[in-house]
Amino acid sequence: MKALILEAYNKLVFKEVPDPVIENDEVLVRVMACGICGSDVHGMDGSTGRRIPPVIMGHEASGMIVKTGKEVNGWKSGDRVTFDSTVYPLYDWFTLNGHYNLSDNREVLGVSPGTYRRNGAFAEFIAIPQHILCKVPNNVTFEQAAMVEAVGKSESVNTALNIVRKGGTAVLVGNTSPLVEFPLQQVVTREIKVQGSCAIRGEYNTILELIGSGRITVDDQISAVAPLSDGDIWFEKLYKKEGNLNKIILVP
Ligand SMILES: [Zn+2]
């Protein structure tokens, strides 16, 4: 298959690579759309340490099932799907307690932090465990379905803590850098509660329904839909902050 592979830091190459091989509980998905995440752009230069080359990045994707493993139930070829970006173990303590996004052994698609390497969706095909799949409603396009994972432009922690009312809770979602300056006095004197929120925990189907019904619009956040073969050009534009680009969707 063809894939956009991060061969070295800041070096994306569109080339032929072996097709993914599916496990018994996995399906093979033909990728129809994959969004470029801020974490991919920041990861590309090695600054986050979470995209150690070589790796195929990309975790905000949708597509169509073309093959199913022997133990796959309830999914078939032709199904339109999207998927959580987190591959979590089913019998981890956190998963069993409803917090799979905090599971110790979770892996993220398109990420290689040194302890594992899991290729992502900037490719023609990707292998996906059945338990992270979600059906895409007929009235939602593949491009829209690739927008479900919706962390947008992150405001600074300081702004969030300044605008929350006294005694309120600031939920921190985006994390573009591992450490930030923390306004300790604001938090103490205004009795602010700080709550972290990591990745996704079961929100996909709700978001897909909201997109399908038109209650959430995502089309206006898509700056361009471009061929995957031009991926390196779009990554460079985003990296250099050229233009006022929001989400770029790449199509294999
Ligand atoms: Zn993302």
For the chain, the structural domain boundaries read 2-149+200-251, 152-198
120 confidence band (pLDDT: 50, 70, 90): very high
Q: Does the structure show a pLDDT above 60 at 151?
A: no
Residue 43: pLDDT band (50, 70, 90) is very high
Q: Ligand 1 mean position to 214 CA, how many Å?
A: 22
Please give the distance, rounded to the nearest whole angstrom, from the Cα atom of residue 167 to the centre of ligand 1. 31
Distance of CA 110 from the midpoint of ligand 1 (Å): 10
Q: Is the pTM of this model over 0.85?
A: yes
Question: pLDDT tens across 54-64, in order?
Answer: 999 999 999 99
Tell me, in angstroms, the distance from the centre of ligand 1 to residue 97's CA.
24
Instruction: Answer whether residue 219 shows pLDDT above 80.
Output: yes
Question: What distance in angstroms lies between residue 18's CA and the mean position of ligand 1's atoms?
Answer: 25
- DSSP H or E run through 15: strand 11-16
pLDDT value of position 152? 43
Among the ranges given (149-158, 192-201, 238-247), the one the predictor scored with the smallest mean pLDDT: 149-158
The per-residue pLDDT for range 122-144, each reduced to its tens digit, is 999 999 999 999 999 999 999 99
Q: What is the mean pLDDT of residues 217-230?
A: 95
**pLDDT value at residue 212:** 93
Structure tokens at 139: 């009235």
Q: What is the pLDDT of residue 201?
A: 83
Do 220 and 228 contact (CB within 8 A), yes or no? no
166 CA from centroid of ligand 1 (Å): 31
Give the C-alpha separation, 162 to 139, whole Å. Answer: 40
In the three-class reduction of DSSP (H, G, I as helix; E, B as strand; rest coil), residue 125 is classed as strand
Q: What is the mean pLDDT of residues 157-173?
A: 86
Residue 156 pLDDT: 65
Q: How many Å lie between the centroid of ligand 1 and the Cα of residue 228?
A: 17
**Contact between 75 and 134 (Cβ < 8 Å):** no
When the candidates are 3.30.565.10, 3.40.50.460, 3.20.20.120, 3.90.180.10, the CATH number that belongs to 2-149+200-251 is 3.90.180.10
pLDDT at residue 56 in the model: 98
Task: With a cut of 70, say whether residue 153 has pLDDT above it.
Answer: no
Ligand 1 center–CA 151 separation, angstroms: 7
- Higher-confidence residue of 197 and 50: namely 50
Residue 236 C-alpha to ligand 1 middle, in angstroms?
Answer: 17
60 CA to centre of ligand 1 in angstroms:
6
Alpha-helix runs per DSSP H in the chain: 38-43, 93-96, 142-145, 157-163, 184-189, 204-213, 231-239
Which of residues 196 and 40 earns the better pLDDT score?
40
Q: What's the CA-to-centroid distance between 163 and ligand 1, angstroms?
A: 25
CA 61 to ligand 1 centroid distance, Å: 10
Q: Say how many Å lie between the CA of residue 158 and the centre of ligand 1.
A: 22
CA distance 23 to 129: 8
Give the span between the Cα atoms of 100 and 132, in whole angstroms: 11
pLDDT number for residue 95:
93
